[in-house]
Amino acid sequence: MKITKICCIGAGYVGGPTMAVIAQKCPEIQVTVVDLNEERIAAWNDENINNIPIYEPGLDKIVLEARGRNLFFSTDVEKAIDEAQIIFISVNTPTKTYGKGKGMAADLKYIELCARQIARVAKDNKIVVEKSTLPVRTAEAIKSILDNTGNGVQFQILSNPEFLAEGTAVQDLLNPDRILIGGDSSSEGQKAIEALVEVYSNWVPAVKILTTNVWSSELSKLTANAFLAQRISSINAVSELCEKTGADVNEVAKAIGMDSRIGSKFLKASVGFGGSCFQKDILNLVYIAKSYGLNEVADYWEQVIIMNDHQKRRFSNNIVQTLYNTVSDKKITFFGWAFKKDTNDTRESAAIYVADDLINENAKIAVYDPKVSRKKVLADLDYLETRTASANADSVLSFDTPYDACANSHAIAVLTEWDEFIQYDWQKIYDSMQKPAFVFDGRNVLNGPALEAIGFVYQGIGS
């Protein structure tokens, strides 16, 4: 089957960049990204390319090149479904906040709505691709809805998980480590796999395109994220031990990372991992394991989350303790709010939880993040429902420049590893702060000895 039209439901962090790259690399395929959120679609269509809703290095150029040529953003979901041969489902799958599996299982409400809509609209055979991370065996549920509520047309369900990391999405999409496509073993299933393989073959070498059965593909995505998160919790556990023993976690990470069996990546101790995937996917894994009665397996993976929560709390506790056991009415400056550098995404960012702890201690938090607005900071805190929105607004101060954010501050906490933080005029910052001036480097990115030479009291993670 020659693919000429693709539709993607969900214009978010996954759908937007992924489809932009497919459109750029496959000029003969018309790619339409649809979303119910009108504001989001309007932003994707904004003539000023700086206003597209997702910040990713290099994404603006790709959107500029393809938009209007073969890349379209629209709220007309039904039309796009009707026309497409391949439909990607890229909607959000948050952790359930109610009922059975609350706080652990993925909420498949949005996925199910998509499946029902596809079934209602489709008048010819379609390939439906799961792009969102989903619990194992979701494809089965999607298939059941499509087959039972459809118009008698054939649906093939593929699992094609996304492995891009935010901040490097464009590079990850252009040069992926692998593309994973899971499908049915029937000849129809194999044809669907081949059709999708052909799309990716426009720019991905054949050796990097892996085809499996649907369940392996679904489980591989959860497992890849669980392994990555586990490495961070492992090095963070070691960071606490380093602080007690006089070892330096950066040196330990380098020493163990040179073992080619371990490898050097993803061994950076930090204030804790965030992002929309790691915690959600592990909770999902834990839930699935428990539902099969595999309690030891569930406990094993849950420990990764427990360690991560501990690391965030340990960071805020240390700030309070170091500032003479009280931060009440003290201005504490946060450098960074995003869950990592080069993204405006703040989902599950450690900054939210550290701020929440410090506000409980009556601190005033002055946030400076080059890509995150005050509105977003407050929305993140309000979402926790620890206190009223007006109490959050009273506790969070926002400034347009990092220097204003630091004036009269008692301490600076680095929550995101933005490169620009390293370049700041730290003498100027020091001069404007209360003394002693503390820096808590939750990302180990600043030059500790240089800051100490200026007069700061500097504390990194794990040394």
Residues in contact with ligand ADP by the rule CB under 6 A = 9-15, 34-37, 40, 77, 90-92, 110, 113-114, 132, 276
Cβ-proximal residues to 450 (8 Å cutoff; 6+ apart), any chain: 426
Question: What b/e sequence results for 79-106 when a residue is b if at least 16 CB atoms lie within 10 Å of its CB, and e otherwise?
Answer: ebbbbbbbbbbbbbbebbeeeebeebbb
125 is in an annotated binding site: no
Segment near ligand UDX (CB under 6 A); pick from 3-11, 114-122, 161-169, 383-391: 161-169
120 is in an annotated binding site: no
- Spatial contact of 222 and 180, defined as CB atoms under 8 Å apart: no
Q: Is 340 in the site for ligand UDX (CB under 6 A)?
A: yes
387 is in an annotated binding site: no
Q: Which is nearer to ligand ADP, 118 or 267 (CB)?
A: 118
- Spatial contact of 345 and 276, defined as CB atoms under 8 Å apart: yes
Q: Which residues pair with 127 in a beta bridge?
A: 86, 156
Paired tokens of 127: 């390939």
Which pairing describes strands 30-34 and 438-441: parallel, antiparallel, or unpaired?
Answer: unpaired
CB-closest chain residue to ligand UDX: 275
**Helix extents (H) in 246-349:** 249-257, 278-291, 295-322
Active site residue 406: no
- Closest C-alpha to 19, from 246, 228, 173, 185: 173
Q: Which is nearer to ligand UDX, 155 or 334 (CB)?
A: 334
Tell me which of ligand UDX, ligand ADP, none is bound by residue 274, counting a contact when its beta carbon lies within the kind-specific cut-off of 5 to 8 angstroms.
ligand UDX
261 is in an annotated binding site: yes
334 is in an annotated binding site: no
Task: Kindly state the DSSP code that residue 76 receives in the 8-state scheme.
Answer: -
212 is in an annotated binding site: no
Stretch 218-277 residues interacting with ligand UDX (CB under 6 A): 225, 228, 232, 266-268, 270, 273-275, 277
Cis peptide before 436 (omega within 30 of 0): yes
Stretch 404-423 residues interacting with ligand UDX (CB under 6 A): none
CB of 4 to ligand ADP, least distance (A): 22
Q: Which is nearer to ligand ADP, 114 or 363 (CB)?
A: 114
Tell me which of ligand UDX, ligand ADP, none is bound by residue 136, counting a contact when its beta carbon lies within the kind-specific cut-off of 5 to 8 angstroms.
none
* Separation of alpha carbons 243 and 251, rounded Å: 13
Q: How far is CA 71 from CA 11, 211, 228, 252, 457, in A?
A: 12, 27, 33, 47, 52
Q: How far is CA 31 from CA 3, 92, 161, in A?
A: 11, 20, 18
* Separation of alpha carbons 4 and 225, rounded Å: 32
CB of 165 to ligand UDX, least distance (A): 4
- Name residue 376's amino acid: K
Q: Kindly write out the interface string for residues 163-192 of this chain, putting x where it contacts ligand UDX by CB under 6 A and - elsewhere.
A: xxxx--------------------------
Q: Which is nearer to ligand UDX, 85 or 250 (CB)?
A: 250
Q: Which is nearer to ligand UDX, 64 or 165 (CB)?
A: 165
Q: How far is CA 204 from CA 10, 173, 177, 180, 207, in A?
A: 24, 9, 10, 12, 8
133 is in an annotated binding site: yes
Tell me which of ligand ADP, ligand UDX, none is bound by residue 110, counting a contact when its beta carbon lies within the kind-specific cut-off of 5 to 8 angstroms.
ligand ADP
Q: Which is nearer to ligand ADP, 250 or 276 (CB)?
A: 276
CB of 204 to ligand ADP, least distance (A): 21
CB-closest chain residue to ligand ADP: 12
Q: How many CB atoms lie within 10 A of CB 373?
A: 14
Cβ-proximal residues to 443 (8 Å cutoff; 6+ apart), any chain: 268, 270, 271, 336, 414, 415, 416, 417, 461
Of the residues 8, 26, 277, 406, only one is catalytic, namely 277
Q: Which is nearer to ligand UDX, 137 or 178 (CB)?
A: 178
Binding residues for NAD(+): 10-15, 35, 40, 91-95, 132-133, 166, 277-280, 347
Binding residues: 10-15, 35, 40, 91-95, 132-133, 162-166, 221-225, 261, 268-274, 277-280, 339-340, 347, 443
Positions in the binding site for ligand UDX (CB under 6 A): 162-166, 225, 228, 232, 266-268, 270, 273-275, 277-278, 339-340
Catalytic residues: 277
